[in-house]
Structure 1
Amino acid sequence: MKIKSRVLKRTLHSYSQYNERGFTLLEVLIAIAIFSVISMASFSIFQTVLNSDTVTKERTDRINELQRGFLIIERDMIQIARRSMRLNGEAPLGAFLHTDNESFSSGEKGIAFVRNGWTNPGLLLPRSDMQSVAYRLNDNVLERLHFNFVDAVLGEEPKVRPLITQVEKLDFEFYDGKKWQKTLEENTLPIAIAMEIDTTDYGVIRRQFLVAGDSLQDKSDANDGN
């Protein structure tokens, strides 16, 4: 019994000494290496998720910008009025559509017209429910311009609203009922207007808008009358 007791005591003493030694350097290094690999993998996954979220947000914001811009343009186009513009108290410009935009202080391609349907319930505001509107390309930004009064007074500056960014080129075409063309006859309106913008990210985007234009029957009647 004494021999067994001594053997047991030595065994317990040796086991206790082994436990008190802790981890070896190799074990610590292996543990650090495993932890580093897991940390790097977790960081890579986290960074990928953040980048994906950022890219998704940028694309969503861009699509919303395009949709909002074209919605505003469509609202104006479908309400084009058969009315000429008068700027700075001068005589009416004559045509219903202006595609040079010189009167709006822009050398870039653009379009200007008068539209109906500018909300003014009960004419409570001291202005008409018609509105002078223009679109132009300025520093790669498609802008909407308008005046508070349908006939701008001398010295009045238009209100400018940026609509679509990253636009490199702006162009228009007009449909007269037979074909698309770049120009219009004076004092006429097309049946549809096409707007093309060349963007840096999505390339060329073309939208076509119906307007209350002159029909072919109206033109033929006018020609017969002449």
Structure 2
Amino acid sequence: MKQRGFTLLEVIIAMGILAFVVLSTHQILDSTTKAKDASDETIAELNGLQTLFRLMDQDFSQMTKRQVRNEAGDFQETYILAGRYVLDSQYDGIGFVRDGWVNPINLLPRSELQAVGYRVIDDKLERVYRVYVDQLDNMEPRSQVILENIEDLKFEFLDDKD
């Protein structure tokens, strides 16, 4: 009589080989998934940095010399506010007026000037801005979170006192 099946030993060996292949495939898939997640996280950080540098480049390159009036209507003496805790920042903060805020054919009820600033609150770097340069409207500035997990922020620049 001829045998028409597999022996128990052959089935166990086949199951062992199959288990080894499945385990190996799972480990390769798992390491590939972890590498993709790490890559996505790095790309997100780089995109955030690119956005930050683009915004800062636009803002700082179009900085203009214009005094700002406070709520009482008095002009502030400085053109740039910078230093520790400026704009309620955890670290250094900076505020100034920039030109070049697009307002085609004066369609919007505002000028092309914009008061902007940078600060860190709750370890998040924020770009703060006002629709109107002067603080006569008693409105809080608008803020936009640009980067998170900020450990320190410091601004250094030369002024007329070096």
TM over 0.5: yes
Please tell me whether Structure 1 or Structure 2 has the larger radius of gyration of its CA atoms.
1
Are 2:25 and 1:57 aligned?
A: no
Counterpart residue number, 2:25: 42
TM-superposed deviation, 1:86: 2.1
CA offset digits 1:172-193 (Å, max 9, x no partner): 1113xxxxxxxx448xxx8xxx
The separation in 1 between residues aligned to 2:7 and 2:142, in whole angstroms, is 76
Aligned ranges for residues 86-101 of structure 1 at < 5 Å? 86-100=69-83
TM-superposed deviation, 1:110: 0.4
**Shift in alpha-carbon separation, 1:72–1:132, aligned structure 2, 3 A:** same
Q: 2:98 aligns with which of 108, 115, 129?
A: 115
**Shift in alpha-carbon separation, 1:115–1:101, aligned structure 2, 3 A:** farther
* Runs (5+) with no aligned partner, structure 2: none
The separation in 1 between residues aligned to 2:93 and 2:63, in whole angstroms, is 15
Are 2:102 and 1:128 aligned?
A: no
The separation in 1 between residues aligned to 2:85 and 2:66, in whole angstroms, is 18
CA offset digits 1:44-81 (Å, max 9, x no partner): 11111111111111111110110111100110000110
Q: 1:173 aligns with which of 138, 156, 161?
A: 156
Counterpart residue number, 2:125: 142
Corresponding residue SS for 2:14: helix
Work out the number of aligned pairs and report it. Answer: 162
Aligned ranges for residues 212-223 of structure 1 at < 5 Å? none
Counterpart residue number, 1:74: 57
Are 2:77 and 1:104 aligned?
A: no
Corresponding residue SS for 1:119: coil
TM-score, length-scaled by structure 1: 0.67
The separation in 2 between residues aligned to 1:101 and 1:115, in whole angstroms, is 21
Q: Which amino acid aligns with 1:119?
A: V
RMSD: 1.9
Corresponding residue SS for 2:94: strand
Q: Which amino acid aligns with 1:30?
A: I
TM-superposed deviation, 1:108: 3.5
Worse-superposed segment, 145-154 or 109-118: 145-154
The separation in 1 between residues aligned to 2:39 and 2:86, in whole angstroms, is 40
Question: Does the aligned pair in 2 maintain the 1:116–1:131 contact within 8 Å?
Answer: yes
* Runs (5+) with no aligned partner, structure 1: 1-13, 176-183, 191-226
**Shift in alpha-carbon separation, 1:129–1:101, aligned structure 2, 3 A:** farther
The separation in 1 between residues aligned to 2:123 and 2:43, in whole angstroms, is 20
**Shift in alpha-carbon separation, 1:154–1:88, aligned structure 2, 3 A:** farther
Instruction: Give the percent of matched residue pairs that are identical in Structure 1 and Structure 2.
Output: 32
The separation in 2 between residues aligned to 1:107 and 1:32, in whole angstroms, is 61
TM-score, length-scaled by structure 2: 0.91
Q: Which amino acid aligns with 1:157?
A: E
The separation in 2 between residues aligned to 1:29 and 1:107, in whole angstroms, is 65
CA offset digits 1:187-219 (Å, max 9, x no partner): xxx8xxxxxxxxxxxxxxxxxxxxxxxxxxxxx
The separation in 2 between residues aligned to 1:122 and 1:101, in whole angstroms, is 39
